Amino acid sequence: MEPAAYEKFYKAWLENTKKFLSPWSLIKGETSPPFSTPSSSATDAPDWTKDWSKLMEGMLSFPYTMMIQGIGGTPMSSQKDYGDLLNGSLDLYKEWVDVSLDFSKTWLEASSSVFAKLNAMTAKAQATSPDDYMKQIYNVWVEELEGKMDHLLHDPGFSSKLASLLSKYLDVKEKSDSMAEKYYRSMNIPTRSEIDSIYKEIHELKKKLSKFASSDSSPTSSRKKKN
Amino acid sequence: MTSILATATESEEKKLHDVHKEMDRTPSEVVYTSGRIKLLHYEQIRKEKIVHTPVLIVFALINRYYILDLQQDRSVVRRYLESGIDVYMIDWGNPAPIDKFQTIGDHIEMIDEAVDVILKRSHVDGITLQGYCMGGTFAAIYAALHPSKVKNLIVQAASIDFSTQSGILNVWSRFIDADKIVDTFGNVPSQFLNSSFLLLNPVGLLVDKYVKYYDNIDDKQYVENFDRMEKWIFDSPDVPGEVYRQFIKDLYQKNLLVKGEFAIDGKKVNLKRIDMPLLNIVGEEDNIVPPDSSTPLNDLTSSKDKETISFPSGHIGISVSGKAQKELWPRVAEWIREHSV
């Protein structure tokens, strides 16, 4: 960097950053902090408490340090991301409750049918051994619940709810993945979208290569070579 | 990059190998590999190979091929070998993240590569191509694109006409946003697919099945059979993202195949180009691929020699049930022998 540019932009920025961080981090500032901190104010406390306070201050300052350095996005965008993720999770939960209610309703309907059938069973059928009787109850329960569940799962209205639940889950996953991408990018770690673009290119190159190989081995191609 | 990708699949391969060792499987050798796919050739049981035309079996990308060779007394492969039929099978392997861009067209190409290998090894002009489930859809598409290489076509519980609403999957697929699923997941995870299949009959598959298992816990054969099926059910690979996207959007939602508008690399698939002998095997109680999704194939082709076998079983039972092993597969083997002269 040219000295003039350094003086004008970088040095000023660095100085201001240090000044801002000096109360909160282990960086020794040139000026005294504008306000006291636990580690700076507890002059009579044992040394180990001061060290501990300094460590905690440093850890707490880390997200802000990252934001100031431009890592992880601005505080506003991070807040928005977390807000969107939270809203998405709530939407997902609402869909989940909706689907669960339909399952519960089906269970209750099946249970009512089972009780009705058991009541209708003859005294002779009921007067079998306890094991056989339990088996009969179980078989009736399975038959009723299977029928009711089959009806529910075939219902287009319920299918639409299932699809909506899946969609909300995918929204949350997509939001979470995009937030992770931002952090990976800031840490210079290859992201999924970057790797996917490489995969796509490799796939397309393989296809082209395969086409060249098959055209190269075709009879027309070999005749051309002989000529 | 390749070694990183290989590491992820090598541990999966080792786990699969351990699973296979415990199963009562027919010996085979790998005669060709291309990327993740392997072409298996089963060892002959009879001293002489009687049937000249080899069979290539193509299974679905969901779950694994060895449902057709689960154990000695529940093995379609073994029934064929006992009839002197030369059997090959495609193992689709485990899709890595890089495979998410592979389309149905890429898989048809892989089938073509396998067919060329078999034609060369066996010194024949055509094979008997058998497809099961999604593999049946692939087999029909391949036979329409390369009819000269297919001497006979067998489709088993194959989805051809997706307009039916009698299957739950057909109902659900109307509402699925395949683009969102693939764009978020990449390859569609096997856990997601497994959960969907369990939801087809939650009471039967999550409760009743295990109650029956407990009831038969003292029956060694029952327990062994159950354990092999359980291993197969939950031994499922991810599905390449673009295949899933195409299958849901172009086939389930738009039903382009029967309309003659489904295209592979820009070339439309015309089922009328299927003119070879056709055997359509359908499970009457199939709740995954309902019969009215499979049976229309016969009317969509121009085959003169065509037959439908409607068997009283479900989607998996058509391969592994005792009744199918005794009644259905010897009959199919006989059909292959008659059409391989």
Mind listing the pLDDT tens digit for each residue in B194-217? 999 999 999 999 999 999 999 999
- Of A149, A196, A199, nearest to B202 by CB-CB distance is A149
pLDDT for A224 equals: 45
Q: Out of A85-99, B252-266, B288-302, which region has the weakest mean confidence (pLDDT)?
A: A85-99
pLDDT attached to residue B292: 95
pLDDT computed for residue A32 by the predictor:
47
Strands B55-58 and B127-132: parallel
Q: Is the pLDDT of residue B162 over 90?
A: yes
Amino acid identity, residue B65? Answer: Y
CB atoms within 10 A of CB B335: 18
Closest CA to B37 of B119, B139, B111: B111
pLDDT at A79: 77
Residue of B nearest to A196 (CA): B98
Per DSSP (E only), the strands in B92-149 are: 127-132
C-alpha distances in Å from residue A192, one per residue of A174, B74, B97, B212:
12, 43, 10, 45
User: What pLDDT score was predicted for residue A180?
Assistant: 87
* A131 Cα to chain B: minimum distance (Å): 12
Q: How many helices (H) and strands (E) does chain B have?
A: 17, 12
To test the contact with chain B by mutation, choose from A134, A203, A217 the residue with the greatest count of B C-beta atoms within 10 A, namely A203
ipTM rounded to 2 decimals: 0.82
Q: Is A199 on the interface with B (CB under 8 A)?
A: yes
Q: Which of B86, B107, B238, B315 is catalytic?
A: B315
Chain A residues touching B167 at Cβ < 8 A:
none
A-chain CB neighbours of B175 within 8 Å are 156, 159-160, 162-163
Q: Is B41 a catalytic residue?
A: no
| Active-site residue (options: B69, B86, B107, B133) | B133
Q: How confident is the model at residue B50 (pLDDT cuts 50, 70, 90)?
A: confident
* Torsions phi, psi for A120 (to 5 deg): -80, -10
CA distance A223 to chain B (A): 22
Q: Give every residue of chain A whose pLDDT is below 70, as ranges.
A: 1-77, 122-127, 216-227
Residues B297 and B271: their CA atoms lie apart, in Å, by 8
User: What is residue B255's predicted lDDT score, i.e. its pLDDT?
Assistant: 96
Better pLDDT: B234 or B24: B234
State how far the Cα of B138 lies from the Cα of B58, in Å rounded to an integer.
8
B298 closest CA partner among B315, B283, B281, B318: B281
Terminal-residue alpha carbon distance, chain B = 48
Q: In whole angstroms, what is the distance from residue B232 CA to residue B20 CA?
A: 10
Q: Does A174 touch chain B (CB under 8 A)?
A: yes
Where in chain A are the domains? 3-69, 76-189
DSSP code, position B239:
B
Euclidean distance between CA atoms B316 and B133, whole angstroms:
10
A160 touches chain B (CB under 8 A): yes
Give me chain B's average pLDDT, please.
91
On whether the B2-338 domain is CATH 3.40.50.1820, my answer is yes
Asked if A159's CB is within 8 angstroms of B171's CB, the reply is yes
Tell whether the torsion through CA atoms of B182, B184, B190 and B196 is positive or negative.
Answer: negative
- CB contact (8 A) between residue B207 and residue A162: no
B227 among known catalytic residues? no
Q: Strand order in B127-132's β-sheet?
A: B28-34, B37-42, B87-91, B55-58, B127-132, B150-156, B278-283, B306-311
CA distance A183 to A173: 16
